[in-house]
Amino acid sequence: MSTFDTLGLKPDLMTALKDAGLKTPTPIQTKAIPLALQGQDVLGLAQTGTGKTLAFGLPLVSHLLDAPERPAARTAKSLILAPTRELVNQIADNLRMLTSKTKLRVTTVVGGQSINKQIHQLLKGTDILVATPGRLIDLMDRKAVDLRTVKHLVLDEADQMLDMGFIHALRRIAPKLGTPRQTMLFSATMPKPMEELSRAYLTNPAKVQVSPPGKAADKITQSVHHLAGKAEKAAKLREILSADPDALTLVFARTKHGAEKLMKGLVADGFNAASIHGNKSQGQRDRAIKAFRDGEITVLVATDVAARGIDIPGVAYVINHDLPEVPDSYVHRIGRTARAGREGEAIAFCAPDEADLLRQIEKLMKIEIPVASGTAPKDPVARKPQQRGQGRGKGQGRPAGNAAAKPNGNRRRRNRSRKAA
């Protein structure tokens, strides 16, 4: 088994990893870091929860330590683009852990926060700029940031950026960056548009893949409940939550209104719940995630705004109250559990009008999700129900609760998903 000592990292980085209690790299880190340290462009494919942030963060910081000159005002030496505010903050937290013993500066810019404050922060220049594409373009339009000095570009969760329509923003941003530069693109899935993206922005990239695209983490136990409609969903959700009330559970809804209504109903029924979605301010979202991380709340109801922005190892269950319209999103949702080598459980509810969405998900993942209860509509032979506790240790299963392949290219459907978040 390899260790970080064998990857050729600098002493400052080894100290930061030791202080964080990190000794053994994940497979994506083992494969990607040496290539990125050599300056190669990297195309990294790995499921969520496998340590992609450090896979690009460690070599990026290493390169910046080799170029110690301070950045000029309003400039950045490296740029990381991510699709959501939560993911930007998560990446920045990891990078600040790595740079805590150095003079490197990490700056974030996201929507939902004061742009004037961000303009002021950029006046000093920064070594690492972590941004959502939309807010970065706002700052570019105001001439608050000069990207010509960027020599390292990272596109994280690039497939979601495509789903959310950020390709147009990327086409505006990329020509403003410095050349030559190193580009690293990381993703959990590899739809055809991703291949086109990699050809456009990467030069002879080294491809690193540690699991088939669309595959969930091995330690996730999956199941599906076939239900008649919304009323049955509500009852089943409360039944599952009541069976293990202290476990951290992430519940996904399709729309902002639906998430808020679902959360309020759970609170009214005595559950310790909060919600995050696109109608919440950044402060509200940050506070809800912190409370969830700290165990102050045990149920977090979210739209896909949280599918890739929550890195909380303690999430025991992910419940898909509503199946996503984009199959890839299912993989990212359930990737919020079983993180950092832990076990987790993913439970899906499927109403009759969601049967086709379930089929698309199963086609993408090349599996048949075990049935916990009910029968699939128009399915002549009901699949065998999953046994309670299947895939989990004794006493860890929940009563009743244990028991995309081509991506959706429909622009209208992608737009609906983006609006829902």
Per-residue model confidence as pLDDT tens for the chain (421 residues): 578 999 999 999 999 999 999 989 989 999 999 999 999 999 998 877 778 999 999 999 999 999 989 999 999 999 999 988 888 998 999 999 999 989 999 999 999 889 999 999 999 999 999 999 999 999 999 999 999 999 999 999 887 777 667 888 888 999 999 999 999 999 877 777 778 888 889 999 999 988 655 556 567 899 999 999 888 999 999 999 999 999 999 999 999 999 999 999 999 999 999 999 988 887 888 899 999 999 999 999 999 876 566 778 789 999 999 999 988 889 888 888 877 667 899 999 999 999 999 999 999 888 999 999 998 876 544 444 444 344 443 334 444 443 333 344 444 444 444 444 5
Distance, CA of 28 to CA of 95 (rounded, Å)? 17
Distance, CA of 278 to CA of 106 (rounded, Å)? 25
Q: Which burial class, exposed, middle or buried, applies to 412 when counting CB atoms under 10 A from its CB (0-12, 13-18, 19+)? A: exposed
The answer to whether the CB of 205 falls within 8 A of the CB of 40 is: yes
Instruction: Give pLDDT, residue 305.
Output: 73
Q: Which burial class, exposed, middle or buried, applies to 29 when counting CB atoms under 10 A from its CB (0-12, 13-18, 19+)? A: buried
Spatial CB neighbours of 207, under 8 Å, sequence gap ≥ 6: 43, 45
Instruction: Give pLDDT, residue 337.
Output: 86
**What are the structural domains, with CATH classification, of the chain?**
4-209 (3.40.50.300), 220-420 (3.40.50.300)
Spatial CB neighbours of 205, under 8 Å, sequence gap ≥ 6: 40, 41, 42, 43, 183, 185, 198
Single out the residue of 178, 123, 187 nearest to residue 152, CA to CA: 178
The answer to whether the CB of 310 falls within 8 A of the CB of 343 is: no
Helices 355-365 and 327-334: angle between axes, nearest 10 degrees: 70
What is the DSSP code (8-state) at residue 306? G
Distance, CA of 35 to CA of 207 (rounded, Å)? 10
Instruction: Give pLDDT, residue 156.
Output: 92
Helix, strand or coil, per DSSP, at residue 11: helix
Single out the residue of 340, 251, 344, 248 nearest to residue 295, CA to CA: 248
Q: To which H or E segment does residue 262 belong? A: helix 256-268
Single out the residue of 367, 247, 327 nearest to residue 295, CA to CA: 247
Strands 248-252, 273-276: parallel, antiparallel or unpaired by DSSP? unpaired
pTM over 0.75: no
Polymer length of the chain: 421
Q: Which burial class, exposed, middle or buried, applies to 207 when counting CB atoms under 10 A from its CB (0-12, 13-18, 19+)? A: middle
Single out the residue of 125, 127, 98, 122 nearest to residue 109, CA to CA: 122
User: At 360, which amino acid appears?
Assistant: Q
Spatial CB neighbours of 84, under 8 Å, sequence gap ≥ 6: 132, 160, 305, 306, 308, 309
Distance, CA of 172 to CA of 397 (rounded, Å)? 49
Distance, CA of 251 to CA of 273 (rounded, Å)? 10
User: At 144, which amino acid appears?
Assistant: A
Distance, CA of 83 to CA of 187 (rounded, Å)? 12
Instruction: Give pLDDT, residue 359.
Output: 95
